[in-house]
Structure 1
Amino acid sequence: MKLLLLFSLVALAQCVLHKVPLRKGKTLRQSLQEHGLLERYLKQHPYNPAAKYYKTGVSSEPMQNYMDNSYYGTISIGTPAQEFTVIFDTGSSNLWVPSVYCASLSCSDHKRFNPADSSTFVSTNESLYIAYGTGSMSGILGYDTVQVRPHIVVDNQIFGLSETEPGDFFYYCPFDGILGLAYPSISSDGATPVFDNMMDEGLVSKDLFSVYLSKDEESGSFVLFGGIDPYYVTNGISWIPLSAETYWQIKMQRVSIDDEVAACDSGCQAIVDTGTSLLAMPDGDLTKVFKALGATSSGEISCEDRNTLPDVVFHINGGTFPVTPSAYVVESDGVCSVAFEGVDIPTESGELWILGDVFIREYYVVFSRGKNMVGLSRLA
């Protein structure tokens, strides 16, 4: 086994791979709590994970869906490089950052891209508009060199430069922008996603990337472009075909608790989304899951009982993928609750679930564009 792992590591070193470290930091929710703004924020911006997936005449990317996200990476844009903190989001496809043209208060405490300072920037006459439900981000599209730290350099990458951003709450966001990793079919204004350009320019050995999200440590999380780290797949990889090449969408057969079907009784669709923190499901299924776990209608549960709770098991493509109580129970100010949310997104092939970071932290996840599959390997 050790020899096999050694050979795997040698092969890994010979491939064109790029491991981008992610740091686990303060969430928007925590920042708002510290400034006494959380209650007002939640009233004005009710959490709605469904809004991200509704297709309308404009791109919809609600910032409140990122309020519990705590994994951030670094990119730079331009020549010389201007650095930004972004969320690597498999639930969207566009890259955008604040710009010096943004006069909104929300931009004032973030890094802003200045096209005049970049010798490689190319402007366009195209505009970008992203609706937020209670506000909007508008801006322009441009091309420039994007470096995904530390070593990937993508030439002529199209990206959005915000000119207005919604509300004063974005001021407290611990990230500057979003780097989308979903399919180009859902990209706003037909902009080519960053990973598509990585593939087209031969910057990765394989047309895939993989994600590891650390459960506890501030460091250790990463996105690996172009390959799979053998250290994290000693339990093998279960490959799941996509049911749609838009988001990273797969089909689930059912969800069980204590060997009993608890939800998704007749099958359903699910999106594996690094840009959503919680685990979201249709409201009807949420009620069933709460009941099976002994939680209240708001999801609260006895902190004393959390170590005796059962796994929530996802049945996907003939395999079983458990999420343990240590992953789905969260404690805040002495109150325990399950990290599940209600969402109603009907599709032609079934109701939609969102497998966010609560699920992803339990697995090493491979996103294969070459196979149009998601690979899951359970972490020890």
Structure 2
Amino acid sequence: MGTKFRAAVITLFLSSLLLPLVFSESNDGFVRVELKKFKLDENNRNADRLTRQILDSKIARGIVRLKNYQNMQYYGEISIGTPPQKFTMGFDTGSSNLWITSSKCYFYRACYYHSKYYARRSRTYKANGTYAMVGYGKDSISGKISQDNVLVGGLTIKNQDFIEATKLSGPEHKNTKYDGLLGLGFQEISSGRVVPIWYNMMNQGLVQNPVFSLWLNRNTEEEEGGQVVFGGIDPKHHKGDHTYVPVTRKGYWEFDMGDVSVNGKPIGVSGFSAMVDSGTSLLLGPTVVITMLNHAIGAEREDNPKCKSIVRMYGKTILNMLLVKEKPKKICPLIGLCRVDGKKSNNIRTFQCNTCELIVVWMESQYKRNHTEDCILNYIDQLCDSMPARQPSLVNCLQISSMPIVSFLIGGRNFTLSPKEYVLPIGGIACISGFSSFDIAPPLGPIWTLGNVFMGRYHTVFDHGKMKVGFADAA
């Protein structure tokens, strides 16, 4: 009650002293402030300073400012509980759960690298007790679901369910700069059927528009590493209009993507879906395409005799089967490298089958370009050495300026990445390709994951109301 009284007095004081000061809300979800000039003298200098503080807090509502760690991790601050307990969080459009390291996380080394949530210290904590687990590739977290108030960018989300993580499995958790993740995907992929925090922002009327946007700064020397805006778009951080594409499947922010090109020439493998994922540092894609991309940019290669032996033994046979008018739908089972029923029996058979299927796609892409048989077989032989033996692939730092432009066709526009944008220097001693292979099995895959390498170049809008994703040049 005392706080409300002081706020009322300040407002009355400013309104009588400062002239017409008008707040208005526009369609982009931001609070606009219209100002008129007045003569500033020593008597009202303090009032002017106080006014700026009020305006700054008004405009900043719904905005989370991010830190950037080596262009690999982006994280911002939230609070949970009453009184608030502060945490640094990754804002992840590739998952849907909110989780935080629990004070009951004892038996995993990663537990001791992060701030922890203490339920008993919060007056607004409510127990749920349901067990939930979330997987992130080779890593996972698990624990019991709890409920508390969460403060994000000045917005208080009441009674938000989240996972108190007591188990942090996998090698990466101890290396992260954040204490947990705030998932911004759809509820369809939420573990434990938990309502995501973004849904509750909308349900509780905390945002004017059902839209949020991300800007990731790739300049590591600047203080501000990025920005998440809940309820709108900050025009300062993009140039030109956004190109929008419809969400094709709720779960991830997934859409259809067209050709991938190198220096303006399509590589000949397309038709994959893509999702935009702020929780992934690199740009991930199916091995069949990533191998071709890393070969095209000149990533370092390693001799792959197993792959080459398959090319030498079966290459001409596969190519001849592709040349017939009615080519078979499944070539690899016909030549005995894959089982007819599609099952994989052992590691050797799995490698042979997977490699054969890659070779078929590579040959088809080259055949469409009317290359000769010798050219095709020689190219496939080279691709064998570009297959990702280790992740990510190394590139020569001295050759970045001569590497090609890579582009992705989305919504009729080619979104380009220059070598300086897709090559990442690591510790000043090495450089890695921003393209890394990650195969997701059907029915969810195969799919591209456009992570921070892409999002750092393009400001991204997530329109939940109209079920679409938009990209514009970042500013």
Fold-level similarity (TM above 0.5)? yes
1:326-377 Cα distance to aligned partner (Å, 9 max, x none):
1101223433332111111144486211100000000110011011111101
- Aligned residue in 2 for 1:47: none
Cα pair 2:29 2:209 within 8 Å, conserved: no
2: distance between equivalents of 1:336 and 1:168?
22
Unpaired segments of 5 or more residues in structure 2?
1-24, 33-57, 301-385
CA RMSD of aligned residues (A): 2.4
2: distance between equivalents of 1:156 and 1:272?
28
Partner letter of residue 126 of structure 1?
Answer: T
**Match among 340, 343, 352 for residue 435 of structure 2:** 340
C-alpha distance 13-246 of structure 1, shift in aligned 2 (>3 A): same
Partner letter of residue 145 of structure 1?
Answer: N
Give yes or no for the alignment of 1:12 onto 2:16: no
2: distance between equivalents of 1:137 and 1:160?
9
Give yes or no for the alignment of 1:194 onto 2:197: yes
2: distance between equivalents of 1:116 and 1:336?
46
- Determine helix, strand or coil for the equivalent of 1:108: helix
C-alpha distance 322-188 of structure 1, shift in aligned 2 (>3 A): same
Identity among equivalent positions (%) equals 36
2: distance between equivalents of 1:120 and 1:101?
18
After TM superposition, list the pairs within 5 Å mapping 1:80-229 onto structure 2: 80-104=83-107, 105-131=109-135, 137-149=141-153, 151-166=154-169, 170-216=173-219, 217-229=222-234
Query: Could you say which structure has the higher helix fraction?
Result: 2
1: distance between equivalents of 2:26 and 2:399?
42
1:26-67 Cα distance to aligned partner (Å, 9 max, x none):
6xxxxxxxxxxxxxxxxxxxxxxxxxxxxxxxxxxxxxxxxx
1: distance between equivalents of 2:288 and 2:277?
21
Q: Which has the larger radius of gyration?
A: 2
Unpaired segments of 5 or more residues in structure 1?
1-6, 27-67
TM-superposed CA distance for 1:10, in Å, is: 9.7
1: distance between equivalents of 2:139 and 2:432?
30
- Aligned residue in 2 for 1:25: 69
C-alpha distance 129-243 of structure 1, shift in aligned 2 (>3 A): same
Give yes or no for the alignment of 1:262 onto 2:267: yes
- Determine helix, strand or coil for the equivalent of 1:234: strand
TM-score normalised by the chain length of structure 1: 0.81
- Aligned residue pairs: how many? 331
TM-score normalised by the chain length of structure 2: 0.65
2: distance between equivalents of 1:82 and 1:363?
33
**Match among 232, 235, 243 for residue 238 of structure 1:** 243
1:61-90 Cα distance to aligned partner (Å, 9 max, x none):
xxxxxxx73211111110000111110000
1: distance between equivalents of 2:136 and 2:27?
44
- Aligned residue in 1 for 2:469: 374
**Match among 58, 70, 74 for residue 71 of structure 1:** 74
- Aligned residue in 1 for 2:410: 316
1: distance between equivalents of 2:29 and 2:125?
37
Cα pair 1:272 1:355 within 8 Å, conserved: yes
Partner letter of residue 311 of structure 1?
Answer: I
| Greater Cα offset, 270-279 or 308-317 | 308-317
1: distance between equivalents of 2:143 and 2:445?
35
